[in-house]
Amino acid sequence: MLRGLIASWVSHLAGERRMARLTLDAYERDLRQFLDYVCEKSGKPVGLAELSELSQAEARAFLAARRQSGAGSRSLLRGLAGIRSFLRFLEREGYASISAFASVRTPKTARRLPKALTVGEARDLSDTGSRAGEARPPWVIARDAAVLALLYGCGLRISEALGLTRADAPTGRRDVVTVLGKGGKTRSAPVIEPVRHAVEAYLELCPYQLPSGGPLFVGARGGPLSPRIIQLAVERMRGALGLPETATPHALRHSFATHLLGRGGDLRSIQELLGHASLSTTQIYTAIDTKRLLSAYQSAHPRARAGAKG
């Protein structure tokens, strides 16, 4: 009977939940590992009665055994999710009510480190020359380069860059940009010379009259620019430049922080530049580069130093 219920559960996940085949296979494999464990411990085939009699201690013992066999936290999380899904399915269909896993603590996972680009890769993404010969209007290429320059040169999120108004444009002698970040909080970030030049080049080529309170970056028809347009531009450049799939607009923000830290940037200052509410969020970058921290933004950022030489 249990075999048929497992098949029904998998069909439910595939049909109603539309789960990917790989996820379904992993869930079913994790569930069968659990059932094999219960069978081995009890010495008899597992049915609904045996599952209903399981205790929380036995559920925790299973997870501990998986951990000892080399399963990592992410594998345990996925396995726990699959088992709980099956048990909820049994309860929802009226077969059994099994509470053994209800209060089992979720394994903690190490936070994934951001994927930073190299300095050269980040520069290439925000350089109009990387798209030479592309069949797109020069102003569009300049616009995309300006957006990406803000992400890498100032550490902005793409939503923050696209939220800038024409009046916010860092041009001329303006070397600071103020953005609206997460939680409605505003912050200011220094704007280095190469970034200002990129924004100015875009404005010089832009065919639209941009009102002061309107968006700084506009689409082909003059309306607000969609983040998806920038994402697609980066996808095209990945292929042309031979960059990995981890090269995304958001990776430029990670690269900003990683490169600053690697060149002696002060962690507290980087926190403020990124707009992180907590220093612990920024400290993830120390796992990437543990060099001694200094405080100077201008001397740390590779594009700032390149601009100074020019």
Q: What are the pLDDT digits (tens) for 257-284? A: 887 777 666 667 767 777 665 655 555 6
Q: Is 182 tagged catalytic? A: yes
What confidence tens digit (pLDDT) does each residue in 106-139 have? Answer: 666 555 555 778 888 888 888 888 777 778 899 9
Q: Is 108 tagged catalytic? A: no
Mean pLDDT of the chain: 80
Ranked by mean pLDDT, the top range of 90-94, 131-135, 223-227, 299-303 is 223-227
Tokens of 70: 């080399």
pLDDT at 213: 92
Contact 298, 304 (CB under 8 A): yes
Q: How far apart are CA 205 and CA 62, in angstroms?
A: 64
Q: For the chain, which domains are there?
A: 2-92 (1.10.150), 119-309 (1.10.443.10)
Residue 160: Cβ within 10 Å count = 23
Type of residue at 6: I
What confidence tens digit (pLDDT) does each residue in 137-147 have? Answer: 999 999 999 99
Among candidate residues 67, 66, 71, the one with its CA nearest the CA of residue 38: 66
Q: Is 250 tagged catalytic? A: yes
Is the overall model pTM greater than 0.85, yes or no?
no
Q: Is 285 tagged catalytic? A: yes
Q: How far apart are CA 85 and CA 151, in angstroms?
A: 40
Q: Which of 66, 123, 143, 253 is catalytic?
A: 253
Q: Which of 123, 131, 143, 157 is catalytic?
A: 157
Crossing angle of the two packed helices 193-205 and 138-154, in degrees rounded to 10: 160
pLDDT at 309 over 80: no
Q: Which of 254, 276, 301, 303 is catalytic?
A: 276
User: Residue 236 — very low, low, confident or very high, per pLDDT cuts 50/70/90?
Assistant: confident
pLDDT at 287 over 60: no
Q: Which of 27, 66, 285, 301 is catalytic?
A: 285
